[in-house]
Structure 1
């Protein structure tokens, strides 16, 4: 019996093997998109890939990556490009920069000498997007999972620590070379502010280059099972997940998400055409709503400086790099 099948568009996602990423890929696969899963846990990705293939008859390609390692990001990007060049998968319809983490306590540093939160949540994705730009469909999209905690003027932004001015060198070297260490909450919220600045600056540069790629920043809301709250002790997670506590958190102005619905919304942002480029969307009360992000996220000088420093820190341009257009 022939195994030939029509090649479907491909969506790449980091962190698609857990949390809202896993909920997202189920909905994406149901729409018959092939998938590339990028993550650290190979065995877990293999399990998810097997389930998606069996349930939705799509092609799923797991690729190991450690977003805290720039060498690992380069290797993963090269592996993805090789799959496309060999015809094993179609070109990318979307790249979902979804993975993220909080690291509490004193700063820790990557093999590149950069603070781990900044590298994992922001710099690794910055490099990945640059390396994959040429593989994206002309009308494709890039979606960044952000967080309402990035805005220091909101209840979300005061929840774990206000974001500081997003200067790449200061964030990459937090606690080193005379730079303040910042708390775990400050490191997280500021890394998410960097994500949104990146989204907006990427949109401006793509437009200037005549590319029709859509860029979107997405706040799925705080979810007890994932991201910001996942590393809390079990009792604290259970309390936050309770109806009473969630009611109180809403009364205080915090944005709360839902695992399944927030994952479905991420899939919609990846596949639907109704969403504007260079915009910030928030999951709130059962709907995706376009919102204004933090005042600092619209600062053009901050965005340009962050971009230039991110290229330097990730060593883009020092060697011949595939896909480095911007």
Structure 2
């Protein structure tokens, strides 16, 4: 019998799917909500997981704040066990131009950060204690690490939400790495606002490492997509390069592992707790991001 619910965004494929698989296998008490854009693909994922009685598919499009609101309202009436964990996993990388969300926000920032921000703002009242929130970031947020990606450039959240047109794909990749920095800034600020564990809710961030073959390169040119799918998997022999299944197990552990009870405001690369980038601890940037995000969400909800 399930007694606890975990929401995993983007759980129909890749890292989110493997996190769901690992969580279901680790503890029979967990019921998993697959929060996905396409309910049909979500149903296919449930079939592959093989435990339909412990899974619920709910539609969630992080590029639409109205969809976020509908998701939370539907969840409230779904009759599921108490919500004890939220995994903010879904993400994308737009490199072929500038796209906007339904609410007029740049797509990478809107999905990777703002949609999850709005989701957690609505879910905080529903989160049972003890609760865990895990925000999936990336090692690409840290310019001190060689990742092959452009270093993030956080100027202001307002500029990220409404940037100028990009001239090449490198700027699109920079928007991605900056959004991953936003994930850290958001996680640490949420942890501060929840009293750094005093409210019996922990908030941690996670770097899954490089995961060749995942869907992150779907907006790349054909040659780049081919290399990502067929050549890059050979790099899994190197440190920090993982399969989605390995990273999914590590991510699920941040939800269920009792050894992490009370651990909060931390950054994990796989199973290893470590420091994130210098900018990720910048409180001024965190406040700018939080306050701008609140204004954006409030503006749309009116």
TM beyond 0.5: yes
Contact 1:175 1:182 in 2 (8 A): no
Secondary structure, in 3 states, of the residue corresponding to 2:184? helix
Deviation (angstroms), 1:227:
4.6
- How well do the aligned residues superpose, as a CA RMSD in angstroms? 2.3
Deviation (angstroms), 1:169:
0.3
Deviation (angstroms), 1:228:
3.5
- Per-residue CA deviations over 1:159-207 (Å, capped at 9, x if unaligned) read 221100252101000116x9xx981111100001000100000001101
Provide the C-alpha distance between the structure 1 equivalents of 2:52 and 2:172, rounded to a whole number of angstroms: 41
Provide the C-alpha distance between the structure 1 equivalents of 2:46 and 2:54, rounded to a whole number of angstroms: 8
Gaps of 5+ in 1: 1-5, 320-326
Secondary structure, in 3 states, of the residue corresponding to 1:28? helix
Provide the C-alpha distance between the structure 2 equivalents of 1:210 and 1:145, rounded to a whole number of angstroms: 23
Find the counterpart in structure 1 of residue 252 from structure 2.
Answer: 267
Q: Which moved more, 1:95-104 or 1:233-242?
A: 233-242
| Equivalent of 1:123 in 114, 120, 139 | 114
Provide the C-alpha distance between the structure 2 equivalents of 1:69 and 1:101, rounded to a whole number of angstroms: 14
Displaced runs of 4 or more, over 3 A = 55-58, 227-232, 316-319
- Per-residue CA deviations over 1:125-151 (Å, capped at 9, x if unaligned) read 000011011111121100011100011
| Equivalent of 1:289 in 236, 247, 272 | 272
Residues 138-177 of structure 1 mapped to structure 2, 5 A cutoff: 138-156=129-147, 159-165=148-154, 167-175=156-164
Deviation (angstroms), 1:241:
1.1
Q: Does 1:21 align with 2:16?
A: yes
Provide the C-alpha distance between the structure 1 equivalents of 2:146 and 2:196, rounded to a whole number of angstroms: 35
- Per-residue CA deviations over 1:50-72 (Å, capped at 9, x if unaligned) read 444xx346432111111111111
Provide the C-alpha distance between the structure 2 equivalents of 1:116 and 1:318, rounded to a whole number of angstroms: 18
Provide the C-alpha distance between the structure 1 equivalents of 2:272 and 2:187, rounded to a whole number of angstroms: 17
Contact 2:137 2:207 in 1 (8 A): yes
Gaps of 5+ in 2: none
Deviation (angstroms), 1:219:
0.4
Find the counterpart in structure 2 of residue 303 from structure 1.
Answer: 286
Residues 30-69 of structure 1 mapped to structure 2, 5 A cutoff: 30=25, 31-32=27-28, 33-52=30-49, 55-56=50-51, 58-69=53-64
Provide the C-alpha distance between the structure 1 equivalents of 2:228 and 2:205, rounded to a whole number of angstroms: 28
| Equivalent of 2:200 in 212, 218, 222 | 212
Provide the C-alpha distance between the structure 1 equivalents of 2:173 and 2:291, rounded to a whole number of angstroms: 25
Contact 1:29 1:58 in 2 (8 A): no
- Per-residue CA deviations over 1:257-300 (Å, capped at 9, x if unaligned) read 222111111111111132320100002xxxx1111111011011
Contact 1:146 1:192 in 2 (8 A): yes
- When normalised by structure 2's length, the TM-score is 0.90
Provide the C-alpha distance between the structure 2 equivalents of 1:207 and 1:109, rounded to a whole number of angstroms: 34
1:155 to 1:228, Cα distance in 2 relative to 1, 3 A: farther
- When normalised by structure 1's length, the TM-score is 0.84
Find the counterpart in structure 2 of residue 187 from structure 1.
Answer: 175
- Per-residue CA deviations over 1:2-33 (Å, capped at 9, x if unaligned) read xxxx4421111101110011111112122221
Contact 1:38 1:62 in 2 (8 A): yes
Secondary structure, in 3 states, of the residue corresponding to 1:113? coil
Find the counterpart in structure 1 of residue 185 from structure 2.
Answer: 197
